[in-house]
Amino acid sequence: MNELLELAVTVASEGAKLAARRRTEPVTVAATKSSPVDVVTAVDREVEALIRDRIAAARPDDGFLGEESDAAGGSSGLTWVVDPIDGTVNFLYGVPLYAVSVAVVEGGTDPATWTPLAGCVVNVAAGEVFAAARGEGATLNGEPISVSAPADLATSLLITGFGYDPAVRAEQGAVAARLLPQARDLRRTGSCAIDLCWIAAGRADAYWERGVHVWDFAAGLLIAAEAGAAVEVGEGGSGELLVVATAPTIRAEFAAALARATSATS
């Protein structure tokens, strides 16, 4: 395994163990962020601190960008992009769908220009370790995985997420409502990282979400791409990112349907 991937898997797995242990104790909200429903727990912070320390000890010249702490530049040209708990609301409620997500990218912190090198997403409650290194394929618990090949949108399982801002969420719901009748069905796990890994493993056929943050998708998008997904990070409006990952067989059909649903909603 390449050195960066090995470190990503090691620190994500350590973070996952800590999160799982803390989940056996009472979990409370430590603070709210962009809205009253955008929460952070003490465990998010503790897991991020652990991962940050481990990375700094192993690779002191690399930069760091995490969801819960200050960003730090480095001199190596590499940056670690970390979500200590993606699916924080699930974690808070005890819903077993939350993940530790660790990626390392080259070339800064803008997904339009960075090159993701390695990533690991641990779906903590399921004990699933998804991993990928650029050009080396994607794995689930060490076994290669690949995307699905649906014949068309009508037989495709869609997966998406919703942001924390009520106005944005209303639009997201309207777009989802327009796509739902055109597809097999729709899932919402509450973790962007898990959504993308489910695309990678063929558990869903098309993912899209507007307004996600780089730490939500940095590792999962590489894992999906390495599993064969068609992936795209674009401008979602109002300066927000739109992330799309689909089985290649429905890439064009889904893109057209999403564009229609979006323009009908705006």
Q: Which residue, 15, 160, 158, is CA-closest to 91?
A: 15
Measured from the CB atom, is 48 or 62 closer to ligand IPD? 48
Measured from the CB atom, is 59 or 192 closer to ligand IPD? 192
Which residue is nearest to ligand IPD, using beta carbons?
161
In the bound complex, what is the minimum distance in angstroms from residue 199's beta carbon to ligand IPD? Answer: 13
The residue behind tokens 């991993």 is 131
Rounded Cα–Cα distance for residues 23 and 45 (Å): 14
Query: Which of 163, 220, 228, 236: binder of ligand IPD (CB under 6 A)?
Result: 163
Q: Which stretch binds ligand IPD (CB under 6 A): 125-133, 155-163, 174-182, 246-254?
A: 155-163
User: Is the separation of the CB atoms in 204 and 173 below 8 Å?
Assistant: no
Q: Which stretch binds ligand IPD (CB under 6 A): 125-133, 160-168, 179-187, 241-249?
A: 160-168
User: Is the separation of the CB atoms in 41 and 151 below 8 Å?
Assistant: no
The residue behind tokens 């395994």 is 1
Total residues binding ligand IPD (CB under 6 A): 15
Q: Does 46 bind ligand IPD (CB under 6 A)?
A: no
How many other CB atoms are found less than 10 A from the CB of residue 57?
A: 8
Count of positions (residues) in the chain: 266
Rounded Cα–Cα distance for residues 236 and 163 (Å): 13
Structure tokens belonging to residue 231 = 């992936």
Measured from the CB atom, is 165 or 253 closer to ligand IPD? 165
For 234-253, b/e burial (b = at least 16 CB within 10 A) is: eebeeeebbbbbbbebbbeb
How many other CB atoms are found less than 10 A from the CB of residue 23?
A: 19
Q: Which stretch binds ligand IPD (CB under 6 A): 103-111, 114-122, 124-132, 161-169?
A: 161-169
Measured from the CB atom, is 50 or 192 closer to ligand IPD? 192
Measured from the CB atom, is 190 or 202 closer to ligand IPD? 190
In the bound complex, what is the minimum distance in angstroms from residue 144's beta carbon to ligand IPD? Answer: 25
Measured from the CB atom, is 96 or 248 closer to ligand IPD? 96
DSSP three-state, residue 6: helix
Beta strands in 37-192 (DSSP E): 39-41, 63-66, 78-86, 99-106, 115-123, 128-133, 138-140, 143-144, 157-160, 185-187
Measured from the CB atom, is 59 or 67 closer to ligand IPD? 67
Q: Of residues 168-227, which lie at the interface with ligand IPD (CB under 6 A)?
A: 190-192, 209, 211-212, 216
Q: Of residues 58-117, which lie at the interface with ligand IPD (CB under 6 A)?
A: 67, 83, 86-88
Query: Which of 161, 220, 228, 236: binder of ligand IPD (CB under 6 A)?
Result: 161
Question: Which residues of this protein are in contact with ligand IPD, per CB under 6 A?
Answer: 67, 83, 86-88, 161-163, 190-192, 209, 211-212, 216
